[in-house]
Amino acid sequence: MALALQTFATVKDANAALNAAGTRYLGGGTLVVRAANEGDVSISGLIRSTEPSLSTIAVAGDKVRIGASVTMAAIARHPHLGVLAKAARAVGGPAVRNMATVGGNLFAPAPYGDFTVALLALDAIVGTDDGEASIETFLANRDGNRAIVTSVSFTLPKAASFRFLKVSRVKPKGVSVLSIASVLKLALDGTVTSARIALGCMADRPMRAKAAENALIGRSLTKDGIAPALATVNHGTAPATDPIASAWYRNEVLPVHLGRLLLA
C-alpha cells in the first residue's frame, strides 16, 4: 500500500493533518517506518513538521529545552549536555542515533525508551502546542496521545548527582535487558536527601522506583545503606518476557544493577 508523506512548516498545521484517519507523526522514523515496512496497514500516511524550534537545543544556565526532533547523536555531541551523553549513546548504534529523536523515544515501547528513562529521572516537562505535562503524566497517558510533542525541558543535573546505566547482552549497541537512571542529592555527611530513580524495561514503559527512592532517604550510599532500596526496587515492576530476557531474569538482576549504580 502506498504511504503518503506530508511535510508542514508549522506544528499547528501538522497537528491539524494528524486528524485524518491512518496518519502518524514521523520523527526519525526508526520505529514508525519500520512498522509500515513490516506491513502495519493501520499506517496510511506520515506527517512531519519542519518548524525550526523542533530541532533546537537551548541551554540557559541549568535550564535545558530540547526540541522533539533533536536526535540522540545531536545530544551526545552537544558541548553542554555531556552529563546526558551516556544516556543518548545508549540508544542503538550510530546509524540509529543519527535518526532517532527525543520525541520518538518518548513513545518507544519496552525494550526501547532508554533516553526517556533518563528524562523520567530528571523530572522532565513534555511540551505540546496545547501546553505542558510532567513526564510521568505524559507517559501514563501516551497511548491516547495524538498531539505532536514539541519539546522536553528539564533542569540540568550536576554530573555527580546523575547516574545512568543500560544492561544489554550485545555490546555496545544491544537492546536493553533494563536501564536505570537516578538523580540523587546528598547532604554534607553523605546521606541521601532526595532520590529519583527511573527504570526502563521493568514495565511496558519507563517507571519510577518509588519504594526504592523512599528507602534511600537518610541513608548513605554504602552496601548497608542501600540494602533497603535494593530490597524494595522490584515493587510494582511488571517487565515483559521478550527475546532479550525473561520477566523473571529482569526482576532477578534489577537489584544487582541498582546496587552497582548506587555504589559506583
Ligand X SMILES: Cc1cc2nc3c(=O)[nH]c(=O)nc-3n(C[C@H](O)[C@H](O)[C@H](O)COP(=O)(O)OP(=O)(O)OC[C@H]3O[C@@H](n4cnc5c(N)ncnc54)[C@H](O)[C@@H]3O)c2cc1C
Residues binding ligand X (CB under 6 A): 24-32, 34, 68, 91-92, 96, 99-101, 103-105, 107-108, 112-115, 148-149, 175
**What does the block give as the cell for 99?**
535518526
* Residue number with CB closer to ligand X (8 or 107): 107
* Residue number with CB closer to ligand X (52 or 218): 52
Residue 260 CB, nearest approach to ligand X (Å)? 19
Residue 96 CB, nearest approach to ligand X (Å)? 5
* Residue number with CB closer to ligand X (91 or 209): 91
Residue 83 CB, nearest approach to ligand X (Å)? 18
* Residue number with CB closer to ligand X (84 or 148): 148
Residue 120 CB, nearest approach to ligand X (Å)? 13
What is the 3 state secondary structure string of the chain?
Answer: CCCEEEEECCHHHHHHHCCCCCEEECCCCCCHHHHHHCCCCCCCEEEEECCHHHHCEEEECCEEEEECCCEHHHHHHCCCCHHHHHHHHCCCCHHHHHHCEHHHHHHCCCCCCHHHHHHHHCCCEEEECCEEEEHHHHHHHHHHCCCCEEEEEEECCCHHHEEEEEEECCCCCCCEEEEEEEEEEECCCCEEEEEEEEEECCCCCCEECHHHHHHHCCCECCHHHHHHHHHHCCCCCCCCCCCCCCHHHHHHHHHHHHHHHHHC
* Residue number with CB closer to ligand X (30 or 182): 30
Residue 257 CB, nearest approach to ligand X (Å)? 16
Name the residue whose CB lies closest to ligand X.
104
* Residue number with CB closer to ligand X (123 or 129): 129
Residue 128 CB, nearest approach to ligand X (Å)? 8
